[in-house]
Structure 1
Amino acid sequence: MRLLLTSDTHLPKRARELPAELLAQAREADAVIHAGDWVDVAALDLLEAHSRRLIGVYGNNDGPDLRARLPEVARAELGGLRFGVVHETGAAQGRERRCAERFPDLDVLVFGHSHIPWDTTAPGGLRLLNPGSPTDRRRQPYCTYMTAVAQDGRLSEVRLHRLPPRR
């Protein structure tokens, strides 16, 4: 099962549109995971239209229209793995321990908020992934998203993709 992981799209405040590369990846993925901060309902509608299956949550910048359609925490079984999605996980220091305690029933937790790509494994095996942002790099050198494969209870081919600078 091919996965696309993204977060913090912040449309239309940080970019006018989603990158074409991200939408192309969404069409190819079996599931798209978005870890919040859509900002505009149109971004949700667009990604939904390009996805076979969309799993998303709302973030701290998402208003009532998005909160009415999305949960704060989402869970799904994909490729034999138990995934969770949440926008915020708190400070980087102690993140693995906190998340392992909060989500003891998960294999993989996808999160956003910081716009900083993250890939670590907590004691006990919980994999934590933050795909960064495809539209707002903040202090990072690139805008980013992730792809991965979930199959037979294993996560493989986790890859961070760097997007070219917008013109």
Structure 2
Amino acid sequence: MRLLLTTDTHVPKRARELPGELLAAIEAADVVFHAGDWVDEATLDLLAARSRRLVAVYGNNDGPGLRARLPEVAAAEVAGVRFAVVHETGAAQGREERCARRFPEAGVLVFGHSHIPWDTMAPGGLRLLNPGSPTDRRRQPFCTYMTATALDGTLSEVALHRLPPRT
């Protein structure tokens, strides 16, 4: 199963629209994960229409309309891999241990909020993935998203994709 991970799209506050490369990757994915901070419901509608399967949560910048449509925490099993999705995980220091305690059933945690790409392993085997942001790089050199493959209970081929600068 081909997976796409994204978060912190912030449309239309940080960008008027999602990058074309990201939209093409969404359409090629079997499952799309979005870890919150959509900002507008139109972006949720767009991803829901273009995704074969969408697993998504709301973030701290999402208003009542998005919060009514999305959970704060989501769980999904894909090709034998157990995923949890949440927007915020707290400070970077101690993140792995905190998240391993909070999500003991998950094998992979997809999160956002910082706009900083993250790929680490917690004690006990929980993998933490933050795909960064496709629209707001903040202090990072590039806007980003991630892809991965899930097969037979294993996550593999995790890749961070750099998006070209907006013009």
TM-score by length of 1: 1.00
Within 2, Cα distance between the matches of 1:133 and 1:79?
A: 26
Within 2, Cα distance between the matches of 1:35 and 1:41?
A: 14
- Superposed CA deviations along residues 92-135 of structure 1, whole A, max 9, x for unmatched, are 00000000000111000000000000000001000000000000
Shift of 1:14: 0.1
Secondary structure of the residue that 1:49 maps to in structure 2? helix
Per the alignment, residue 22 of structure 2 pairs with 22
Counterparts of residues 129-140 of structure 1 (less than 5 Å): 129-140=129-140
Which residue type is aligned with residue 160 of structure 1? L
Secondary structure of the residue that 2:25 maps to in structure 1? helix
- Superposed CA deviations along residues 33-67 of structure 1, whole A, max 9, x for unmatched, are 00000000000001111100000000000000000
Per the alignment, residue 80 of structure 1 pairs with 80
Secondary structure of the residue that 1:45 maps to in structure 2? helix
Per the alignment, residue 95 of structure 1 pairs with 95
Per the alignment, residue 159 of structure 1 pairs with 159
Within 1, Cα distance between the matches of 2:22 and 2:80?
A: 25
Within 1, Cα distance between the matches of 2:149 and 2:62?
A: 29
Counterparts of residues 1-167 of structure 1 (less than 5 Å): 1-167=1-167
Structure 2: any 5+ residue segments left out of the alignment? none
Secondary structure of the residue that 2:44 maps to in structure 1? helix
Identity percentage of aligned residues: 80
Shift of 1:2: 0.3
Which residue type is aligned with residue 19 of structure 1? P
Within 1, Cα distance between the matches of 2:138 and 2:92?
A: 16
Q: Which runs of 4+ in 1 moved over 4 A?
A: none
Shift of 1:11: 0.4
Secondary structure of the residue that 1:14 maps to in structure 2? coil
